[in-house]
Amino acid sequence: MTPRDALPSLGDGHPVVAIDVGGTTMKVTSVSADGTMSPPRRVPSPPPGPGSADEVVRIATALVHEEAERLGAPPAALGIALPGVVVEDQALGVYSENLEWRDVDFRAAFARTLDLPIAVAHDVRAAGAAETRLGAARGASTALVLAIGTGIATSVQVDGRLHVGRGYAGEIGHAVVVPGGEPCVCGNRGCLEATASAEAIRRRYERDTGTEVSGSKEVFARAAAGDPVAVAVRDSAFDALALGLSHAITLIVPDVVVLAGGLSEAGDALVVPLAQRLESLVRYGPVPRLVRATLGEDAGLVGAALAARDALAAQDDPQPSR
Amino acid sequence: MTPRDALPSLGDGHPVVAIDVGGTTMKVTSVSADGTMSPPRRVPSPPPGPGSADEVVRIATALVHEEAERLGAPPAALGIALPGVVVEDQALGVYSENLEWRDVDFRAAFARTLDLPIAVAHDVRAAGAAETRLGAARGASTALVLAIGTGIATSVQVDGRLHVGRGYAGEIGHAVVVPGGEPCVCGNRGCLEATASAEAIRRRYERDTGTEVSGSKEVFARAAAGDPVAVAVRDSAFDALALGLSHAITLIVPDVVVLAGGLSEAGDALVVPLAQRLESLVRYGPVPRLVRATLGEDAGLVGAALAARDALAAQDDPQPSR
């Protein structure tokens, strides 16, 4: 696995700045002309609320100026990965639950603060692009990069192209895996996210035991030590993840499924039981390779950098091969 | 709805012959230069077994010669839709359960009998292409055409392109919707196909009542008349179909879902309860339009004709827009 602070090289091209906007942290890196990415810096995200999008734009603009000084050269574009529902080609932040914005035109917003082309990316799809082009799914034609953290969502690459689906593709965290099961933030019950996200694993364990834990990692540790409630919560999460994945696999037949997000840090403790369940669930078609992400939590940032480079390449060559 | 015997016009182009190979029947039509499709003729499919692929090739070759006489002009290509697992661009019949073949190279087989370019299609994807180009999903960019008959499978069109997935895309009949449920031919339990296909509905009703029925249509009629077992079987099939579809919808966010195959002949008695269930299950993203197929049981034949026309267009213009 690539260490967290050693980002991959993007190869020769324009110098660009990339930013990944999360619910609590914004990360920034700059990419030099030879493709080297600087170690990511972190600043706090603005608080949620009506002004959050403007604040993101203001902070991002300041970060670009700072990175330009570090780079020693003006960047040719900014790539910015956004959370929630995003339509990349319209630079539209449709909806962010964490930052509480709706229908924000980020191209228009940045036009007021920054004289630079911007490329908007979606955090999960950006991470997916990074893993399929530079990480664990390198070379795959059809691939899922499943992010399991506070929520659950997957990038959906079909025959070499990332599918956007009007901004909603891959939101399988809100597919029902246990009819009538755990209540979900979306208003439904038994969604994959409500059953098997890192956050759901913590919450369910605390509810069933009355004992506070630091997170899913501690639940896994307790399960490994034989705590029967921890085993039950963990195994039902594995069952749910495998069932949700089996539906996605049966529909698009990926070459590889990459596990990303906080829960993937469990490594083989996650990959092995999931792979076993998939072997049993997927009987008709090929079972894809199941691997852990290699770009870690910086995959979205790498994807934002790729989006900036791609946008410039498309300008240089107005008939891209796609 | 288009009546069964009025096939759509394909528009001006090369004259071609199209054949759809089913488990019990082979259908043939010829398409004239102005795009008119002749009323389909039916002949029996060969029996399953080791020689079935050769027999299909022999019968298809004879049908092409007969159609050439009817056309009054030599056809420029044959388009042939095959059942089972098919890889179109390799003209490969990977597997047919009904006709019992494995790994048949149909281009090589036809090269021995027919001096004509052939285009191999997959029956479900061919029907999907026909519905999205000339039928109920016309103009849709991302679409599912779900065939519910003896089995269940869907075509998967993503951003305007049919996804093949090494021949296995869309086999959601073998996704589990009821863990531990009905045994399935694939060896698993609780598959969508084992719960909700027209055949499963008949079989489950007969098992639960000991009463023989002619098919799912009769079960639906008995349910409408208040038979509680028929209601239970029908409604659990609807639940399963909606759950399976909701996973597919959440992953790729289709603009439209087309219901095809024998069960779709139930019309609103199927479409309305399914649409209601989807409204409740799909909370996070857009719920697609749910419509009934308009090309009926000849959609696969129309798709085979389109495949033949497409192959010739690709020859005429070796750099297709795709």
What's the pLDDT band for A256 if we cut at 50, 70, 90? very high
Calculate how close chain A gets to B171, using CA atoms only, in Å: 6
What's the pLDDT band for B322 if we cut at 50, 70, 90? very low
Contact B283 A188 (CB under 8 A): yes
What's the pLDDT band for B133 if we cut at 50, 70, 90? very high
Residues of A in contact with B282 (CB under 8 A): 174
User: What would the mean pLDDT of A141-149 be, rounded to a whole number?
Assistant: 97
Calculate how close chain A gets to B1, using CA atoms only, in Å: 28
* Mean pLDDT score across all residues of chain A: 94
Distance CA A143, CA A170 (A): 11
Is residue B230 scored above 50 in pLDDT?
Answer: yes
Two structure tokens written together for A27: 């990360």
Q: Catalogue all structural domains in chain B, each as residue range(s) with its CATH number.
A: 16-127+297-316 (3.30.420.40), 140-293 (3.30.420.40)
Calculate how close chain B gets to A108, using CA atoms only, in Å: 25
Question: Which residue did the predictor score with more confidence, A97 or A320?
Answer: A97
CA atoms within 13 A on the CB side of A213: 24
User: What would the mean pLDDT of B128-155 be, rounded to a whole number?
Assistant: 96
What's the pLDDT band for A2 if we cut at 50, 70, 90? very low
Q: Which are the contacts of B317, defined by CB distance < 8 A and separation ≥ 6? A: none
Residue A296 · residue A262 · CB < 8 Å: no
What's the pLDDT band for A190 if we cut at 50, 70, 90? very high
For the CA atoms of B210, B211, B215, B219, what is the dihedral angle to 10 degrees?
-100
pLDDT of residue A314: 87
Place of tokens 């997959």: B122
What's the pLDDT band for B318 if we cut at 50, 70, 90? low
Q: Does A281 touch chain B (CB under 8 A)?
A: yes
Contact B248 A253 (CB under 8 A): no
For chain A, positions 222-241, list CB contacts with chain B under 8 A.
239
pLDDT of residue B227: 98
pLDDT of residue A318: 67
Contact A172 B283 (CB under 8 A): no
pLDDT of residue A272: 98
Weakest mean pLDDT among A243-247, A283-287, B238-242, B247-251: A283-287
Contact A170 B284 (CB under 8 A): no
pLDDT in tens, A261-278: 999 999 999 999 999 999
User: What would the mean pLDDT of A67-93 be, rounded to a whole number?
Assistant: 94
Calculate how close chain B gets to A83, using CA atoms only, in Å: 15
Q: Does B183 touch chain A (CB under 8 A)?
A: no
- The crossing angle, in degrees rounded to 10, of helices B216-224 and B228-252 is 110
Distance CA B137, CA B144 (A): 9
User: What would the mean pLDDT of B66-79 be, rounded to a whole number?
Assistant: 92
Calculate how close chain A gets to B241, using CA atoms only, in Å: 13
Q: For chain A, what percent of residues have pLDDT higher than 90?
A: 91
Contact A163 B252 (CB under 8 A): yes
Contact B285 A174 (CB under 8 A): yes
Place of tokens 């089995």: B151
User: What would the mean pLDDT of A284-291 be, rounded to a whole number?
Assistant: 96
pLDDT in tens, A8-60: 999 999 999 999 999 899 999 999 999 999 999 999 999 999 999 999 999 99
Q: Which residue, A3, A153, A20, is CA-closest to A79?
A: A20
User: What would the mean pLDDT of A78-90 be, rounded to a whole number?
Assistant: 96
For chain A, positions 108-147, list CB contacts with chain B under 8 A.
142
Residues of B in contact with A187 (CB under 8 A): 283
Residue A37 · residue A8 · CB < 8 Å: yes
Contact B172 A284 (CB under 8 A): no
